């Protein structure tokens, strides 16, 4: 354990430098509105006359005021926060707003964003994003499910104008969890222009943009926090030619403000029908697909990291209780539950406590207990400290976990990370030590029994060029040694990327990996087009060289089309061949065809065809599978997920699966 405590001492020294260059303005006054504006996307001067006006936005990448004039207004009343943006653009025809689904992929669209941190401590903020169509996306820092009524609804509208576009938002206070008698929030207002690959911000952060460098919105007279109790009952059904099966369950959430959120779950959906359906709609972001059960999504940031606790290890959860919250400098999260594993009952408890001992500096203590047919305990500690200024961010993290029971081992990882503006090197230095028997049943450690060092450098630039928007260079060096002294692997990889103003991207990469008994040497080239157009983008990738003891060639072609308004398709064709000197070659061919029809922004039909032929070790496997989906995520009413077929089958199945979610409020 000596390395962990050495890092703790180093942390004390780093904390002394924790105060960084302030933003400008450091704070601005909160102004209460006598009447709320109409959220229609039209920014009427009379409606916003009482609000605070941010007249200029800063470009961190250019180190000057934004070239496209941008204004914003922010105010509040007893129920909500109101924000408006006026975004001038000399070429309105170039404004991009392709995404049409709430919660979809907005990174390639012209957007505005409001970041709100109710603690006003420079921690992780809530984010509310709107594109030039008025399509909404949000991020809840504590983690939550995709059901709109569960996570909290908010309103937005936008309108494209002759000289640019405008947007308006209404964000109810009931979405935000803030301490009693709080009178200030941390706020960032942001505009993104994709064709320039440029962000404009209020406040002025200098050269380095960070979501933690916020201006203080001061003088708020906030209403006492009031949150409804939400019930989220669901039903799943599964029927094929052999039998019909059903399962129902319930999630309940109670919020007592910032200090406490409590959840109860009974028999949540462990088959992730929602994830299977959502993945067919390729415009949705994938961040929700790893875990779709509300009980585990809500408050996930209060749980231990996945090396100690990985919720997907809890397959068939029968019941669970969870509580998390914030008390001054302390944050806590605790979960208990019972699940079935191979027909046997197991009980588990998970806890994490975090104490903020300096600005952006924390110490965490965590524990996991598993009992039933097995007995297992994991105890751990994490130290995380940061220094953020206009020159960048320096972050040091140290983690130590000790597993005891029939498996007895330890996990250690120490990371020094430097994030910097363009034309300044970013780097990562990481040391990892995982003992052979560190294999927690509720954790995720894919490889154990090694010590390793990883070093990476990243350099990027936005040159003053009409043709080139962005360039990036990455170098990574890695070496791992098994317990006992033999080498596990060592390697070097390098990548160079160029993004052109023509919406094309070129990527070149090379990798050397020595993993006995084989040495891999590969080179790859990737070319993409229409990279800002979600429904017309495409790419070609080639990778060739020595791999797995043979000569390999990999090729991939991806192309998306919008055949008609709201009717989209995508082709994904892959081929891999490895020729060995003294053995039959390995070959893989695969075609994935995805189609999606958007009935409206809350409902969509989808389908996927998967054809492949795999030849490995002289054995041949084939897949001929097609399945259909229906997705409904609505502001009012019930969410519905339907699958006809089976996503992971080798042949098309005569099977219908359904999931129905109906939220209720008290």
Q: Looking at the predicted structure, is the pLDDT value of residue 616 above 70? A: yes
* Residue 275 DSSP label: H
Contacts of 648 (CB under 8 A, 6+ apart): none
Q: How far apart are CA 467 and CA 462, in angstroms?
A: 11
Provide φ and ψ at 433, rounded to 5°. -140, 110
- Whether the per-residue pLDDT at 586 is higher than 70: the answer is yes
Peptide bond into 153 cis (omega under 30): no
Q: What residues pair up with 655 in beta bridges, in sequence order? A: 240
The domain defined by 31-218 folds into Immunoglobulin-like (2.60.40)
Q: DSSP states of 157-194 as a string? A: EEEEETTEEEEEEEEEGGGS---TT--EEEEEEEEEET
pLDDT in tens, 378-405: 999 999 999 998 889 999 999 999 999 9
pLDDT at 624: 97
Least confidently predicted of 279-293, 484-498, 504-518, 610-624: 279-293
Closest CA to 266 of 231, 239, 291: 231
Reference 304, options 382, 405, 370; nearest CA is 382
pLDDT digits (tens, 9 = 90+) for 539-571: 999 999 999 999 999 999 999 999 999 999 999
CA torsion angle 293 294 298 304 (round to 10): -20
Question: Nearest 5°: phi and psi at 151?
Answer: -80, -20
**pLDDT number for residue 471:** 96
Q: Is 91 helix (H, G, I), strand (E, B) or coil?
A: coil
Provide CB contacts within 8 A for 72, sequence distance 6+.
53, 54, 57, 83, 84, 85, 86, 112, 189, 202
Q: Is residue 285 over pLDDT 80?
A: no
3-class DSSP state for residue 629?
A: strand
Half-sphere exposure (CA, 13 Å, Cβ side) for 107?
Answer: 5
pLDDT of 438 strictly over 80: yes
Looking at per-residue pLDDT, the higher value among 12 and 432 belongs to 432
Return mean pLDDT, the chain.
91
Residue 229's pLDDT is 93
pLDDT for res 315: 83
Nearest Cα residue to 342 out of 309, 368, 372? 372
Q: Is the pLDDT of residue 582 over 90?
A: no
Query: Which range has the worst mean pLDDT, 45-49, 540-544, 645-649?
Result: 645-649
Q: Which residues pair with 129 in a beta bridge?
A: 113, 137
Give the pLDDT confidence score for residue 242 in this predicted structure: 85
Domains in the chain: boundaries = 31-218
Buried b / exposed e along 160-196 (16+ C-beta atoms within 10 A): bbeebbbbbbbbebbbbbbbeebebbbbbbbbbbbbb
CB of 149 within 8 A of CB of 665? Answer: yes
H runs (alpha helix) in 248-361? 273-278, 294-297
DSSP H or E segment with residue 608: strand 603-616
Which pLDDT score is estimated for 261?
A: 92
pLDDT attached to residue 312: 87
Q: What is the pTM of this model?
A: 0.91
Give the Cα separation of 243 and 222 in Å (integer).
Answer: 55
Higher confidence at residue 74 or residue 244?
74
Contacts 24+ apart (CB under 8 A), 107-111: 107/194, 108/194, 108/531, 108/532, 108/533, 108/534, 109/133, 109/135, 109/194, 110/165, 110/192, 110/193, 110/194, 111/191, 111/192
Average pLDDT of the residues in 641-663: 92
| Candidate from 140-149, 379-388, 394-403, 429-438 with smallest mean pLDDT | 140-149
Asked if residue 10 has pLDDT above 60, the reply is no
**pLDDT one-digit tens code per residue, 219-238:** 999 998 788 899 999 999 98
Beta carbons within 10 angstroms of residue 545's beta carbon? 16
For residue 123, what are its two tokens? 């921690």
Q: Are 217 and 187 in contact (CB under 8 A)?
A: yes
Token pair for 156: 């937005």
Q: Is the pLDDT of residue 27 over 80?
A: yes
pLDDT at 631 over 70: yes
SS3 content of the chain, % helix, strand, coil (to 5): 5, 55, 40
Confidence (pLDDT) at 19: 44
Looking at residue 93, what DSSP letter applies? G
Q: pLDDT, tens digit, for every residue of 505-547?
A: 999 999 999 999 999 999 999 999 999 998 999 999 999 999 9
The total number of residues shown for the chain amounts to: 666
Number of H helices, E strands in the chain: 4, 39
What DSSP assignment string belongs to 334-355? EEEEEEEETTEEEEEEEEEEEE
CA pair distance 471, 462, nearest whole angstrom: 7
Closest residue by Cα to residue 525 from 542, 544, 512: 542
Per-residue CA distances from 606 to 70, 339, 655 (Å): 39, 33, 16
H or E stretch covering 149: helix 148-151
What average pLDDT score do residues 10-31 get? 68
Exposed, middle or buried: residue 612 (CB in 10 Å: 0-12, 13-18, 19+)? middle
Residue entry with tokens 């081929």:
575
Beta strands in 440-504 (DSSP E): 450-461, 468-482, 487-500
Which phi and psi (to 5°) does residue 446 adopt? -65, -30
> Residue 4's pLDDT is what?
54
């Amino acid at each position: 354990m000596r390395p962990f405590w050495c890092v703790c001492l180093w942390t004390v020294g780093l904390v002394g430098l924790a105060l960084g260059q302030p933003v400008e303005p450091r704070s601005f006054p909160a102004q209460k509105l006598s009447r709320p504006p109409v959220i229609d996307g039209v920014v009427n001067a009379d409606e916003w006359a009482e609000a605070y006006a941010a007249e200029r936005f800063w470009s961190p990448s250019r180190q000057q005021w934004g070239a496209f004039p941008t204004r914003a207004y922010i105010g509040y009343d007893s129920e909500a926060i109101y924000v408006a943006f006026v975004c001038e653009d000399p070429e309105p025809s170039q404004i991009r707003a392709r995404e049409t689904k709430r919660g979809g992929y907005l990174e390639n669209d012209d957007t505005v964003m409001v970041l709100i941190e109710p603690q006003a401590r420079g921690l992780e903020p809530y984010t509310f994003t709107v594109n030039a169509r008025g399509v909404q996306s949000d991020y809840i820092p504590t983690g939550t499910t995709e059901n709109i009524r569960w996570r909290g609804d908010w309103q937005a509208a936008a309108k494209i104008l002759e000289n640019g576009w405008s947007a308006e938002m209404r964000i109810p206070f009931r979405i935000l969890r803030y301490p009693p008698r709080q009178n200030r929030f941390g706020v960032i207002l942001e505009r993104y222009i994709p064709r320039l690959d440029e962000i404009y911000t209020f406040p002025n952060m200098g050269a380095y943009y960070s979501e933690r460098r916020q201006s203080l919105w001061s003088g708020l007279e906030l209403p006492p926090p009031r949150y409804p109790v939400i019930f989220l009952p669901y039903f799943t059904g599964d029927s094929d030619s052999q039998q019909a099966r059903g399962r129902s369950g319930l999630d309940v959430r109670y919020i007592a403000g910032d200090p406490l959120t409590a959840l109860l779950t009974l028999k949540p959906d462990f088959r992730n029908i929602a994830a299977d359906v959502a993945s067919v709609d390729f415009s949705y972001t994938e961040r929700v697909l790893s875990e779709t059960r509300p009980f585990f999504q809500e408050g996930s940031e209060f749980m231990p990291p996945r090396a100690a606790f990985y919720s997907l290890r809890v397959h068939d959860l029968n019941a669970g209780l969870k509580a998390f919250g914030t008390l001054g400098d302390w944050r806590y999260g605790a979960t208990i539950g019972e699940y079935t594993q191979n027909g046997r009952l197991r009980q588990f408890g998970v806890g994490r406590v975090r104490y903020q001992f300096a600005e952006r500096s924390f110490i965490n203590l965590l524990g996991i207990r598993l009992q039933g047919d097995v007995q297992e305990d994991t105890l751990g500690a994490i130290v995380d400290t940061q220094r953020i200024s206009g020159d960048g961010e320096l972050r040091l993290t140290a983690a130590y976990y000790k597993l005891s029971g029939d498996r007895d081992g330890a996990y250690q990882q120490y990371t020094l990370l430097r994030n910097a503006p363009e034309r300044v090197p970013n780097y990562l230095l990481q040391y990892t030590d995982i003992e052979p028997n560190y294999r927690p049943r509720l954790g995720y450690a894919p490889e154990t029994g090694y010590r390793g060092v990883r070093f990476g450098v990243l350099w990027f630039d936005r040159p003053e060029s009409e043709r080139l928007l962005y360039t990036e260079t990455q170098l990574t060096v890695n070496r791992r040694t098994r317990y006992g002294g033999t080498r596990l692997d060592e390697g070097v990889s390098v990548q160079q990327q160029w993004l052109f103003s023509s919406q094309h991207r070129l990527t070149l990469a090379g990798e050397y990996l020595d993993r006995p008994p084989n040495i891999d040497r590969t080179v790859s080239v990737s070319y993409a087009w229409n990279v800002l157009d979600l429904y017309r983008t495409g790419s070609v990738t080639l990778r060739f060289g020595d791999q797995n003891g043979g000569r390999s060639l990999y090729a991939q072609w991806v192309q998306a089309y919008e055949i008609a308004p709201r009717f989209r398709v995508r082709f994904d064709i892959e081929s891999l061949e490895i020729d060995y000197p003294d053995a039959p070659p390995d070959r893989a061919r695969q075609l994935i065809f995805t189609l999606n029809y958007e009935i409206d922004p809350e409902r969509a039909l989808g389908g996927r065809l998967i054809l492949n032929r795999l030849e490995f070790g002289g054995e041949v496997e084939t897949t001929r599978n097609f399945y259909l989906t229906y997705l409904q995520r609505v502001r009012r009413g019930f969410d519905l997920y339907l699958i006809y077929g089976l996503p992971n089958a080798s042949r098309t199945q005569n099977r219908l699966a359904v999931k129905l979610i109906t939220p209720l409020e008290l």
